[in-house]
Structure 1
Amino acid sequence: MTPTGARAQMSTEEFEELARNAPELVRLEFIQGKVQVKPVPDGYHSEIVAWLLTVCMQQRPELFLYPERGLKVEKYRSGRARPDGLLAPKRSLGGQGEWADPAGVLMVVEVTSRDRDANARDRVEKPAGYAAAGIPVYLLIDRDEPSVVVHAEPEEGRYLAVTKRPFGAEVELPEPVGITLATEGLKEFAE
């Protein structure tokens, strides 16, 4: 059963087999018992992830922002997500296979894509899955509503603290991340 009580489309093992055999142009996730196709990022999306990777390396060189890394999420790790970025100590994901355990992950990052499923996926389902996995910070860079949304303090499948700031504002990522984002440069990627 999924968190909403609906029956899962398939087992986690069946999903992993499907994801392994999917063409390279298709990125699959398994969130709340449903298979979802994650859009292939456009150029601005990639630039935002590259910008954030640089900021993280400058301010916290002992950490690394792993792009597009598979992650076990949701209660009992039955979900599978592929966040746009996953912040963790360097060398902490070695030997974990395609779907890493969330233990030790400090932050996950999603950048909205221009598709009709962005609202449900990035603003509703992903925060619930990441909070249930106990990930301390979920950062959503929302190109639709040019803003940065910081989710923190996960408890019982939801984040208790949610802060939204427009592109251009200075954004503090809480501990254990401890990074300050000067987001003025994101304005050019909001198109």
Structure 2
Amino acid sequence: MATWDGLLKAWRELDVPEGWRAEIDEGQIRLAPPPPRHHHVILAELQRPWYRSLPEELGIYQTLGIHIARLDKLYMPDLVVMPVAPIEAADPRSNDPVDAAEALLVVEITSKSNAKDDRTKKLWGYAHAPVPAYLLIDRFDEHGPTSTLFTEPVDGVYSRTVRTPFGGEIKLPEMFGKPLDTSGFPH
């Protein structure tokens, strides 16, 4: 198995096709194809109200590389909400990942090809970071399209889970203002 430093060096040097994402998981670099159109619709629905409600010291980032140091994993979530300061302090020529522990909220939107990883590996990884809140938007859930908010990570497990079918509202942490309305999410 390759070392973390070797994997990170290879990741930095990859010439990833536009729209694709490279992640490090289980000692390997994995490429994910560009997300389908529904991702962009959902991301727009999420971001629009957050730009008005989040404090200026927080930023909203798409496909930002985040490193889960305890597990030697590097994921590129669909959306990350975190303080602006670590992003602004980084070398502008570097594409190095940021520490996942800096994130306040991570959002993953499932595709048919990655739904299992988002529900299991990434859930486990983000809880170990620990990221305080993980929002999983899952169009392919066996019980129908749902949004699940995982919060309160303790020892690598989220101790609180709120699952809402598309069309309902999810109460997010207070900094996000009003609840998230999922009625505009494409089924």
CA distances 1:55-76 after superposition (whole Å, capped 9, x unpaired): 211221422210000001151x
CA distance in 2, matches of 1:154, 1:176: 18
Matched letter for residue 74 of structure 2: R
CA distance in 2, matches of 1:15, 1:154: 27
Greater Cα shift, 168-177 or 50-59? 168-177
CA distance in 2, matches of 1:177, 1:102: 19
Alignment partner for residue 67 of structure 2, among 41, 62, 72? 72
After TM superposition, give the deviation of residue 179 of structure 1 in Å.
Answer: 5.1
After TM superposition, give the deviation of residue 32 of structure 1 in Å.
Answer: 3.7
**Matched residue, 1:109:** 107
After TM superposition, give the deviation of residue 50 of structure 1 in Å.
Answer: 2.0
After TM superposition, give the deviation of residue 175 of structure 1 in Å.
Answer: 5.0
CA distance in 1, matches of 2:110, 2:78: 9
After TM superposition, give the deviation of residue 180 of structure 1 in Å.
Answer: 1.5
CA distance in 2, matches of 1:176, 1:158: 23
Alignment partner for residue 126 of structure 1, among 122, 126, 151? 122
Cα gap change, 1:93 to 1:103, in 2 (>3 Å): farther
CA distance in 2, matches of 1:23, 1:31: 17
Give the aligned length: 177
CA distance in 2, matches of 1:45, 1:67: 11
The residue correspondences of 1:1-191 to structure 2 (distance < 5 A) are: 9-20=1-12, 21-25=14-18, 26-62=20-56, 63-75=58-70, 78-96=72-90, 97=94, 98-115=96-113, 117-119=114-116, 121-145=117-141, 146-174=145-173, 180-186=179-185, 189-190=186-187
CA distances 1:26-76 after superposition (whole Å, capped 9, x unpaired): 42111243433223111111121122111211221422210000001151x
TM-score between both structures, scaled by the size of structure 1: 0.83
After TM superposition, give the deviation of residue 78 of structure 1 in Å.
Answer: 1.6
CA distance in 2, matches of 1:178, 1:130: 23
- Structure 1 residue matching 2:29: 3-state secondary structure: strand
TM-score between both structures, scaled by the size of structure 2: 0.84
CA distance in 2, matches of 1:12, 1:53: 33
Contact 1:31 1:126 (8 Å CA) reproduced: no
Q: Percent identity?
A: 32
Cα gap change, 1:160 to 1:152, in 2 (>3 Å): same
